[in-house]
Chains A and B, each alone.
Chain A
Amino acid sequence: MTALRRYHAAVWDEPLVMELGRPGSRGLEIPSVEPELEAEVGDPDALVAPTMLRESPPDLPELSEPEVLRHYLHLSQETLGMMGVSLFGTCTMKYNPRVNESVAKQYVAELHPHQSEETLQGILEVVSRLEEALCELSGMDRFVFQPGGGADAAYLHACITRAYHAERGELAQRTEIVTSIQAHPCNAATAATAGFDVITLPLEENGYPSLAALEAVVSERTASLVINNPDDMGIYNPDIARWVEVVHAAGGLCFYDHANFNGVMGKIRAAELGFDACMFMLHKTFGAPKAGGGPAVGAYGCTETLAPFLPGPVVSFDGERYRLTEAEAPSVGRVREFLGNVPELVKAYAWVRAMGGEGIDRASDLSVLANNYMEKRLLEIRGVSKSHPHLTQKRLEMTRYSLEELARDTGVTAVDVQNRMVDFGVDAFWLSHEPWLVPEPFTPEAGEMWSKDDIDYWIAVLAQVVEEAYTERETVKRAPHRQVVHQLDPTGLDDPERWATTWRAYRRKRGVATG
């Protein structure tokens, strides 16, 4: 029996930074302007048009440096932030080696993206080596790193899809992008933003859309298929190569969203399944940190056919020097300024080298093993079931569970369970992307980072919370109890009279005095 920790979050009752400090305090000195320079140039207010000068100073806090430091240290301590166990499914929580943080900071922080290529030879070599590694893992011919996250890579694919069909004179005709209801919402959303109509296939008996359903919607209007595999339920579509043939036969492109690469890395290659393009999340699968939501990188890979459409500048090696070449027509131009989140590329390259090919293959073995171990143990807990229980094959790196029975028996929901688990130092699990196909869903993902003891602890916490739901329901319904603050009252979140994204708006709406 795993002992539960007597965890309690740090509670600092930390005021807002706008409520701290004293007029006249300051946290940073600016290098003073040399007297000669001051004398030569004179009053800076006279240098710009009077109408464009600021009349009253911004109402910012005034604090000393140690006060600012301590304030934000307190806020960091008031964040659970993976200090315990975080099995946040679909995000593949893994270790972020600190040596990579240290090296990236030291060697990349003071580089400017517009330096000449001869002064960027080191970083361009890292980018080029990372590209080679990702090509080897995916079978693709090229990779670019401009997209600022997985969703941005999906958007890049939508842009490349436009450019590809425009070049062939077929864009006005090819207005549809096909995806599945289990694909990440960003796949549908980026397609729509790019101007495409989205066709979403529902799941069928086997946990994925049927080939027949795909064939029924694919036509001369199809611009691209965008799909993940396995999906977030750990179910692998065994017909996927056939899907690609069907879409190709109709003249469409095929994009593999590899958000769930941890379940299949070292097992398959996207290009060998026929895909034209794929995306890896370096902040997820390749050991770079989540950072609470970026900076991130959606590495976009494609075959030679799509290479002319890639955004620039692209990195190449001429045998002697690394080159940065501006992309020209029919390139899509840019989806983001500059080269991408370059420090994350150093971290991902370092992770690849520290793991090696065998290590990467083994990491997926261990992730899938850990998930199946968890699945066996979680399904022994009262009130817990899994999606598509009739499918008996082993799920890959994630399983989608449901607390429907628990909710029916006790009224305790998946969100209630999240709120109680954080009382034990366990970060919230992932529920499910929209729409919820199973009631009261939850989706843990063990990955390769956590020890068996960590996983056992997580399971023990869930078992404890479920036990409480049946025996002392209010403890769970009113959770958390050992956190920084109590449960959020969600009423008013979307009420324009009450929401306040700034302190200024809050004071106005709640009548708080300026001070």
Chain B
Amino acid sequence: MATRMISGEAHPYMAISPPGVVDEMLAEIGLDDLEQLFEQIPEEHRLSRPIALPPVIRAEAALRRHLTEILGRNATCAENLSFLGGGCWQHYVPAVCDEIVSRSEFLTPVWGTPASDFGRNQAWFEYASQLGELVDMDFVGLPVYTWGCAAGNAARMAARLTGRDQLLVPAAIDPERLAVIRNYCAPPELRDHVEVIPVDYDPATGRLDLADLREKLGERTAAVYLENPSYLGIVEAEAQEIAALARAAGAETIAGVDPISLGVLAPPGAWGADIVVGTTQPLGVHMHCGGGAGGFIATRDEERYAREYPTLQVSICDTIEPGERTFGVILFEQTSYGARENGKDWTGNSVYLWAIANAVYMALMGPQGFREIGRAILQRSHHAARRLDEIPGVSVRFGEGFFKELVVDFAGTGRSVAQIDEALRERGIFGGKDLSTSHPELGQSALYCVTEAHSRADVDRLVTALEEVTR
């Protein structure tokens, strides 16, 4: 190995890089060549050829220009009128949420001590506390990666709690979320296998088919996983009955919810859910091309549930000073950090920064804000449905009684969703998510999302465009 010179200039990101400093440190440890530091690595392990990366861009101004030239080729939901949803939704993100998650104290660090992490731990506790109010549960873990991951963890919790090996899921579920859940349920060749069994939905109402549920519920059922609203936007009017059926069969009820609906929709704790999961993205986090996703797990504060959590969670606790509060991580020993392969699933980096955005959002909204946003979404989405349904050849499936998302069927137009989407894009509109592949039983249908951000004029614009492109 050739001796490498102590070369290189100071780099803006590397405070240790000035050449004089390097000499000083080498001298302190009695070396004269950086290469001597790598004596542990056998010669034959070293690179077969040098690293060849694109040229370095040293100046920040040049880097910004390079990045923005490339990224400028995107078309965004801010510049276009978007009706995309399907688990990642365009809700308004208050500026205060952005301000707080940009704070360096929250953005850049990892872990410290309970005292020096006090503010962050309190923010996390406030996340859990406020989310617990929304879902009507009093034990809430720190977030996991996504909704699907939370549902996967919940399924595993239920399997351990019941000693059973089947999970019933709604057939209408987001295929991506289902694929995640399937990966959390080991295949039959391996131990801890959980069989995932879809339960049909009623083709007229879109709601879970109770007859099919009764047929599939049995003594192997660990849990019934029910989403409200469903992936197709439907409010499950019989949620209470479904949870009661699950309970009677000795199974847990896992609820999957969109927390932004819970100012108007009944909280899952009230209709009999045992384990509640869902996404945190609607609560003050941008879509970030899917990078805004986050998942949560909540239950009643009962030891049997608490002892199955895979997550870290913070609790209020005491300091050694009488009367003083602080926050500490509880149930660490059951996590993978504490117990390796004997822990409950695993945990690691998650989306803890978003938990802070969520806390800020819930505090800004308060009970009034959640009620108003829920009501506005109900009104705006139903208004859009009625307008769309009037377009010749276009119909809205499943009638009314949905939240935020609606299935728009284009069968009568003689055009595919893909064709319609392309024509809409030329008019600056992103149509709803194409369901024709994921839900073939719905034919040429798309899932349209209407939030508080969509004005009446936006819907007018969509209707006009659809009338043009389907004519």
Question: Please, what's the 1-or-0 string for A327-354, where 1 marks a CB less than 8 Å from any CB in chain B?
Answer: 0000011111111111110100110111
Q: How far is the CA of A228 from the CA of B114 in the complex (A)?
A: 29
**A1 close to B (CB within 8 Å):** no
Determine whether the beta carbon of A110 is less than 8 Å from that of B286: yes
Contact size class for A? 35 or more
Interface status of B3 (Cβ within 8 A of chain A): no
Which residues in B have their C-beta under 8 angstroms from that of A452?
Answer: 16, 21, 24-25
Sample of 18 more A-B contacts, CB < 8 Å, known A27-B96, A152-B145 = A33-B376, A36-B456, A54-B266, A58-B263, A69-B96, A72-B356, A97-B13, A101-B102, A121-B73, A123-B71, A149-B145, A353-B56, A358-B56, A369-B16, A451-B16, A480-B116, A493-B329, A504-B129
Contact A112 B346 (CB under 8 A): no
The 15 listed contacts between A and B (C-beta, < 8 Å) are A16-B122, A31-B453, A33-B375, A44-B376, A44-B382, A57-B367, A101-B107, A113-B88, A291-B352, A354-B56, A362-B14, A452-B16, A488-B319, A493-B330, A496-B306
B295 to chain A minimum Cβ distance, whole angstroms, is 9
Q: Tell me the bound Cα distance from A348 to B333 in angstroms.
A: 33
Q: Which of B184-192, B210-218, B463-471 contacts A (4 or more CB under 8 A)?
A: B184-192
- Which residues 153-196 in A have Cβ within 8 Å of B in the complex? 154-155, 159, 162, 166, 171-172, 175, 185-186, 188-196
Q: Which residues of B contact A407 (CB under 8 A)?
A: none
Cβ contact within 8 Å between A49 and B235: yes
Cα distance A451–B24 in the bound complex, in angstroms: 12
Please report the C-alpha to C-alpha distance between residue A125 and residue B66 in the assembled complex, in whole angstroms. 12
Residue from B21, B47, B270 within 8 A of A267 (CB atoms): B47
Kindly name the residue among B40, B82, B353, B372 whose own CB sees the greatest number of chain A CB atoms within 10 A. Answer: B40
Which residues of A75-116 are within 8 A (CB) of B? 75-83, 86, 88, 91, 93-97, 99-103, 105-116
Question: What's the minimum C-beta distance from A426 to chain B, rounded to whole angstroms?
Answer: 9
* CB atoms of B348 and A151 under 8 A apart: yes
Q: Are A171 and B366 in contact (CB under 8 A)?
A: no
The interface size of chain B toward A, counting residues with CB under 8 Å, comes to: 220
Within 8 A of B (CB), among A437-466: 446, 448-452, 454-455
Interface of B is mostly: mixed
Tell me which of B132, B136, B145, B456 contacts A37 (CB under 8 A).
B456
Chain A's nearest CB lies how many Å from the CB of B420?
A: 12
Task: List chain B residues, Cβ under 8 A from A114.
Answer: 84, 86, 88, 433
Does the CB pair B111–A291 fall under 8 Å? no
Measured CA separation A159–B190 after assembly (Å)? 12
List the B residue with the shortest CB-CB distance to A50.
Answer: B237
Q: Given A427-B112, A434-B340, does the pair A78, B379 have CB atoms closer than 8 Å?
A: no
With a cutoff of 8 Å between Cβ atoms, the chain B residues found around residue A486 in the complex are 115, 319-321, 324, 326
Query: Among the listed stretches B219-227, B247-255, B309-317, B407-415, which one makes contact with chain A, having 4 or more residues with CB under 8 Å of it?
Result: B309-317
Assess whether A340 is in contact with B108, with CB atoms less than 8 Å apart: no
A304-344 interface bits toward B, Cβ cutoff 8 Å, 1 = contact, 0 = none: 00000000000000000000000000001111111111111
A287 within 8 Å of B (CB atoms) = yes
Interface residue? B134 (CB, 8 A)? yes
Q: Which of A272-313 contact B (CB under 8 A)?
A: 272-273, 281, 283, 287, 289-296
